[in-house]
Amino acid sequence: MTYVPKDPANWIPLPGLLDIASEALFAEFRAELERSEYSDIRPTHGCVFRFVQGEGLRLTEIAERAKLTKQSVGEIVDDLVQRGYAKRIPDPDDRRAKLICLTERGEAAQAHGRKLFAKVEKRWAQRYGVERIAALRELLEEIGAAEAPFAAPELAHAEPAAA
Amino acid sequence: MTYVPKDPANWIPLPGLLDIASEALFAEFRAELERSEYSDIRPTHGCVFRFVQGEGLRLTEIAERAKLTKQSVGEIVDDLVQRGYAKRIPDPDDRRAKLICLTERGEAAQAHGRKLFAKVEKRWAQRYGVERIAALRELLEEIGAAEAPFAAPELAHAEPAAA
DNA sequence: GTAACCTGGTCAGGCTTCCTTACAACAAGC
DNA sequence: GCTTGTTGTAAGGAAGCCTGACCAGGTTAC
């Protein structure tokens, strides 16, 4: 079975289409976030809120998953620490390392952000069809697991734990 | 019908998933482009190749569609002119304006780029399912037409010309 | 016709985000 | 103890985009 795109010239490349959707979706998220009490959180900070949970994560780990350099993530973390969203605590297992983790305010912001993303996604399901958005998510999760496993550890579909 | 995402905490926001797919796809495109004779074309230049066709387009027009400032597009065009991909010709209808259009080499590059995008998309259709990628494109085109009509004039599904 | 305003494009300067290079502190193997 | 690797930081720079100020050329009102 061959895949035939409509008209080679009159046709937007797939990455472009994906970006348009991503930007529109993200804009709705940002609009709501900026109306909240967390309006000082900028898009760049996302890599921390995206990956840090519970006990905290090392800078190096965040950098790897986010595909950024340690220095870049370091700056972002500095910023979040200054704003009271994150803190660095010494890693008990390695005196060189620090664990980046969220403050109480940081965790509240993270939870709020997740709720907003869910809300926007639901809105799009209403707008474009529940089935289609569900299928979209399913396909994208499969793609994510295959193309960027480092970025999406939660997509590594844990096999049932039966031995 | 309500839309229920799996697990609020263990779940990647839709914009993130879209970005992962877009980046993976775009990386395949870039890899092939860099192996071609057009390796000096950078991602930023895309806004020109994306929109300019035939007679040419005004700077202002490109800026609007790409959602960039005139200054930014101006710089990008300067760069493309210097590299021999684009040229500015005076607009016969308005002596203030210039039409940005592609040189022969620019058109060749544009055609090559489109072919590469089509090739990568085909590859993904093979990899993830022809039906699913076709459905993905269809949904994304609908979203694009609704959310960013300025960016995607070719998605304004021209009605059949029957009067 | 001319003053006032609008529009297409440019110049200058700045910000954000990310990078590269270099390095200090600590860990681990031998 | 010495070498080698790893964690994080410091300093400086590049890419990509922005705002503000401006000029030349159209357009409108009178």
pLDDT at B25 over 70: yes
The arithmetic mean of pLDDT across residues B152-161, rounded, is: 59
| Out of A24, A127, A151, closest to residue B148 by CB | A24
Residues of A in contact with B130 (CB under 8 A): 1-3
Residues of A in contact with B19 (CB under 8 A): 18-19, 22
Confidence bin at A162 (pLDDT 50/70/90)? very low
| Out of B118, B127, B140, closest to residue A18 by CB | B140
d(CA A7, CA B131): 18
B92 Cβ contacts chain D strand, under 7 Å = no
Question: B22 and A18 in contact by Cβ < 8 A?
Answer: yes
pTM for this prediction: 0.91
Look up residue B97 and give its amino acid: A
pLDDT at B96 over 90: yes
The arithmetic mean of pLDDT across residues B62-91, rounded, is: 97
Query: For the segment B119-152, what is each residue's pLDDT rounded down to a tens digit?
Result: 999 999 999 999 999 999 999 999 999 999 988 7
Residue reference for tokens 């210039």: B98
Query: For the segment A19-62, what is each residue's pLDDT rounded down to a tens digit?
Result: 999 999 999 999 999 999 999 999 999 999 999 998 999 999 99
**Nearest nucleotide, C1' to the C-alpha of B97?**
C8
Confidence bin at B157 (pLDDT 50/70/90)? low
Quick one: CA dihedral B147, B149, B154, B159, positive or negative?
positive
pLDDT at B39 over 90: yes
- Give the residue ranges of DSSP H helices in B11-148: 14-34, 46-51, 59-66, 70-82, 104-128, 130-147
Considering chain A, what is the average pLDDT of its residues? 91
Which position has the higher pLDDT, B44 or B154?
Answer: B44
- Single out the residue of A21, A11, A72, A35 nearest to residue B17, CA to CA: A21
Tokens at A61, concatenated? 């780990």
Look up residue A88 and give its amino acid: R
A80 Cβ contacts chain D strand, under 7 Å = no
Residues of A in contact with B41 (CB under 8 A): none
Please, are residues A40 and A80 in contact by the beta-carbon 8 Å criterion? no
Question: B18 and A19 in contact by Cβ < 8 A?
Answer: yes
Please, are residues B80 and B109 in contact by the beta-carbon 8 Å criterion? no
| Out of A11, A19, A118, closest to residue B5 by CB | A118
